Chain A
């Protein structure tokens, strides 16, 4: 085991995959000389040179499209979009192009690329730099959507993302980058579509994504002291979705809360609830609860921002409401 930050874990995954496969190319704004806005590619430019670690102009649609062209012609580009909000600048390339090329070509072509981009509020970055776009991209067939939790998970899942032969949107959580985690010396790639039971419990299930896995674990800890046994499932990937693990857990506990930081309306939590509902209907012992970002743009002032971010308290309260 060793201690490193979440950002360092991202960096290690990139480094290990680049060392392993020279088709892996990293491009994005400030990824080279600066080592990434969130320090996720520190040292890679020095190690792999200008062609493999490429600072781009501020042309999100342009360089995302560029990566698609690279992916179609033998490379495995990893694109960094500095904030997940910028996915919308590149939306046509992500949604109309990358997601659809395999299908529109009848399987002739595939787009093995990764778009890494941070989500999450909590830095007083206001409405255009704080959003969590996983629900939006999950809507479109053809994109795999990864929402890793801790540093070991981010490392293992990023490796899988880079090796995957389809476009993967890889959401890192910006509030986790500087936190320290214990991670194994060697982290193997973690398969997509297999959720992790982060904590076993019997009274209620909470399915969480990204940093909300850690927040859910904290809430579960608190509830344990009150005699409430919470099962925490780290979803890992929204697409593909591990329906089986979630359903089995809900069948066991009879109660479900879904915690995801995207907006509540048409959000990931709503989708998971609907996805499993027909199979767990007769097992439900309470309504399905959601902990998401309310349907308002994210405000600037900490006084406004913090109360609406899905938090340990909000998870705790939601569970107490349902139990």
Chain B
């Protein structure tokens, strides 16, 4: 981890973002266990370095296409965690007035074009945002986050093909956490690295350690700059691992099949913990400062939890609004 070259401010931001994501997801899991949360949520725990690293390289008016496992992307873009939590609990002041839920949190003001419940469906939408950027001639960039499993959908291939053909300013980020629900990607795809598929569309494909926020940041920055300069899309595969099952409550019994220690090994690479250790080693951030950061974030999180719990449910009439203009 190359923390040495990073400023204290930058590292603090990385840590704050990742720690916020981690705590956010822990509280969501708590909601679930307490029976407060309707439906399900797909947690981002373990994958924090990816959204944090990629979004750190973005400007405010850039676009993001997100997925069902999208809480991290929103937190990374600075979305209001009070409204996020309220939405997850189906409350009135949630981002979508309780009509979207965990899987569909949209924060258009943060450039989030929507989390998406259909695997692979957001890839062409983010690509379309890139077309729009090109058409309007701005220097924005569109990011499309998706999992390794989405790369087996037709929309992935169709989108990369068009983005390449028309040199659209889009960067595709694969969060390869190994499993599509229970199915191991190694059992359903005969490529070691999904990034190799980029070559089929004549675009760069890069593999990075998705547990290392600095490596993700640097790779994303290069791809984003390249896109802004009109040189077209890049496919970045971030190797990562999800701490939890596919969704809250999934015991994830499938993952010990090939390697009983798989989870332990990945948890040792915890992106939050690794950054904290590295920053301490290079004396970039003191223990006291870490404590202060954590306390501040804890306060935010508790405030959000409180808000979400107390926020009323939407009026039943809300079902009938927002279908059309």
A residues bordering B, Cβ < 8 Å?
Answer: 25, 51-52, 56-57, 59, 61-75, 77, 92-93, 96-97, 101-110, 141-142, 144, 164-166, 240
Contacts and interface: CB of A to CB of B under 8 A. Distances in A.
Contacts of A103: 99, 322-323
A106 B158 contact: no
A317 B124 CA distance: 48
Contacts of B325: 102, 110, 164-166
A116 B134 CA distance: 24
Contacts of B136: 74-75
Given A73-B132, A104-B99, A108-B106, A93 B162 contact: no
Contacts of A74: 132, 136
Interface residues on B, range: 35 or more
26 contacts: A57-B158, A57-B161, A61-B155, A63-B162, A65-B121, A66-B127, A66-B128, A66-B131, A69-B132, A70-B131, A70-B132, A72-B114, A72-B129, A73-B128, A73-B129, A73-B133, A75-B132, A75-B136, A93-B125, A105-B96, A105-B322, A106-B98, A109-B114, A141-B323, A165-B325, A240-B324
Contact of B125 (A68, A105, A110, A165): A68
B322 A66 contact: no
Interface in B114-165: 114, 116-118, 121, 123-136, 142, 154-155, 158-159, 161-162, 165
Contact of B106 (A67, A97, A105, A144): A105
A103 B114 CA distance: 11
A144 B324 CA distance: 9
A249 B22 CA distance: 62
A223 to B, nearest CB: 37
A76 B177 CA distance: 36
B95 A108 contact: yes
A62 B321 CA distance: 29
A99 to B, nearest CB: 9
Contacts of B99: 103-104, 106
B162 A105 contact: no
A59 B269 CA distance: 40
B97 interface: yes
B108 interface: yes
Given A74-B132, A106-B94, A109-B114, A64 B324 contact: no
A160 B118 CA distance: 31
Contacts of A71: 128
B113 interface: yes
A98 to B, nearest CB: 9
A211 to B, nearest CB: 27
B162 A66 contact: yes
